[in-house]
Amino acid sequence: MKIVADTNIPFLKGVLEPYAEVVYLDGRSIDHAAMVDADAIIIRTRTKCNEETLSGTQVQMIASATIGMDHIDLPWCAAHGIDVQNAEGCNAGGVADYVFSALYGIASRRAIKLDEATIGIIGVGNVGKKVEAMARSLGFNVLLCDPPRALKEGPDAFVPLEELLRQANIVTLHVPLDEDTRGMAGHDFFEAMQPGSIFINASRGEVVDEAALIHARPKLGALVLDTWCNEPNPNPNLIELCDIATPHIAGYSYQGKQNGTAQAVQAVACHFGIEELMNFRPATEDESLKPVSINLKDKTQGEIAAILQYNYPIFTDDFLFRSSPDSFERLRSEYNYRREFYLE
């Protein structure tokens, strides 16, 4: 058996070698020629899987160590019998940490009061649920918009997008990229938002119409972007307009990367019947990287901001990115994974 894997997936080297020939390549280099004699590929979002790259190969299984699936042509794979598995929910905790470290950090710098603020969460899947839970624990008013969930579960817990945009002081996106969400944050979206509100996107860059966002920027109170159109070549003018700008690392927690690799390896193990790896999980060798419990009850906004920044100093990531925006991929591949925190 031959497996081709993205060399930037952590904790993977040495795991599958007892069972297969494993070839490691940069994700962007995993093309048709690399896949042609592979039985399985283990990838991230940088590897495109479609008819052009997969046709005529012997690939029967794709394991993506990421949540997003927009880099894979799922209908084509299904029609050709290719098993596709992703790491659903793997980085939810890391993204939630990112959102609140950014939010309280900006509020501290800009003297924004968060008392009685309303946060609107668009997309309430694995990540959105984590953001919701943390927001409620911190005392925010919460509005949820998730049309697919509302259709399945009933509308009682959800509000229409237009209502959320009218009422929320903070709007954060956690939707997948698909035909329904591509460009959803456009001129009408930003026109409906409250003046002075905070906008956060840590989902996919193409969910946002960047021209519309640039036009609307004077209306917004603050702007946080982790994802961009045309990655790894983000718009430098848009970077300058952000309060916090980072190179698609919101989910880059140590636990998130453990989860992603574990789910990818387990998916390969289940597909090929490798019993020894069906419950695989990377070990945490450094005690300092284990997740930490923090108590924010009865703390002032300033105290909460200080505690969150201590556990995730997000402005360091912002500074490194602004200092070298052309190093988008290097900053991601050399990122020092941070430990997750959770609220008591």
Count of positions (residues) in the chain: 344
Provide the CB-side half-sphere exposure for 120 (13 A, CA). 23
**Can you give the chain as a three-state secondary structure string?**
CEEEEECCCCCCCCCCCCCCEEEEECHHHCCHHHHCCCCEEEECCCCCECHHHHCCCCCCEEEECCCCCCCECHHHHHHCCCEEEECCCCCHHHHHHHHHHHHHHHHHHHCCCCCCCEEEEECCCHHHHHHHHHHHHCCCEEEEECHHHHHHHCCCCCCCHHHHHHHCCEEEECCCCCCCCCCCECHHHHHHCCCCCEEEECCCHHHECHHHHHHHHHHCCEEEECCCCCCCCCCHHHHHHCCEECCCCCCCEHHHHHHHHHHHHHHHHHHHCCHHHCCCCCCCCCHHHCCEEECCCCCCHHHHHHHHHHHCCHHHHHHHHHHCHHHHHHHHHCCCCECCEEEC
| Cα distance between residue 185 and residue 205, in whole Å | 10
Neighbour count for residue 111 (Cβ, 10 Å) = 6
- The answer to whether the beta carbons of residues 171 and 193 sit under 8 Å apart is yes
Give phi and psi for 86, each to the nearest 5: -120, 175
| Active-site annotation holds for 271 | no
| Active-site annotation holds for 206 | no
Catalytic pick among 44, 46, 248, 339: 248
| Active-site annotation holds for 187 | no
Catalytic pick among 71, 174, 204, 338: 204
Catalytic pick among 231, 271, 281, 322: 231
* Catalytic positions: 204, 231, 248
